[in-house]
Amino acid sequence: MKQSSETTRRGAKSRRELTAIAIDCFSRFGFQGTSVDRIARMAGVTKGAIYYHFRDKKALLAAAVADRVSEFETRVERACSGADPEEALRRIGRVCIEHARSNDHPRFILTLMIESLETEREIAAQLRAMMRRFRAFLRNLIEDGRRRGCFREDVDPETLAADYTSSVLGAEIQFYQDPERFPFDRTVNGYIERLLTDIRAAV
């Protein structure tokens, strides 16, 4: 009877629900300031329910990051489906804007970027891999545009992908820090249009 009761309590929250609650805790208290006890209390489950899905707090954080990264990458891929390279670069900017404006836990991103660099190698590796995939996706778009004759032959896809990433995601971080005053949409859209003007092939 006791085992059945515990199984019910463990199943009260799905793995995805627990990662969502964990993100809320990490956003509010930081990774170091969040304990498994705190997450369990917020979720209304036992610690055993947490450990049923995750081996420890780091594994829970890794799952939370994976969920957010997967969601973002899926949105980018869907937005670019069927678009020419120039329009795809615009759409990626719009996805970044929409993602930032719909993100109710901006501190989660900032906290991870700061805390994980020195102390959480697994999380830092996840974030690094995400950024590399994002740059590679952009690089492939730019290379495709060059092959199609949309972009100039002398553009460097690797450098442009890095510049796009630092400009757009850098603007996103500034928006998280000062959402009331930072002209986020105008900054991102303006950068992309200037970039396209600069790399567009002459007609």
| pLDDT tens-digit series, residues 95-134 | 999 988 887 776 676 666 666 666 777 888 888 899 999 9
Residue 102 and residue 190 share a domain: yes
Q: Supply the CATH number for residue 16's domain.
A: 1.10.10.60
Nearest in space to 68 (alpha carbons), one of 108, 13, 121, 97? 108
Amino acid at 133: R
Residue 44 and residue 139 share a domain: no
- Domain annotation covers residue 148: yes
- The 3-class SS string of 50-101 reads HHHHCCCHHHHHHHHHHHHHHHHHHHHHHHHCCCCHHHHHHHHHHHHHHHHH
| pLDDT tens-digit series, residues 4-21 | 344 334 444 788 899 989
Q: What is the pTM of this model?
A: 0.84
Residue 28 and residue 70 share a domain: no
- Domain annotation covers residue 59: no
Q: Supply the CATH number for residue 180's domain.
A: 1.10.357.10
Among 4-8, 73-77, 115-119, 185-189, which stretch is predicted with the lowest mean pLDDT?
4-8
Residue 129 and residue 29 share a domain: no
Range of the domain at 98: 64-199
- Chain center to CA of 95: 11
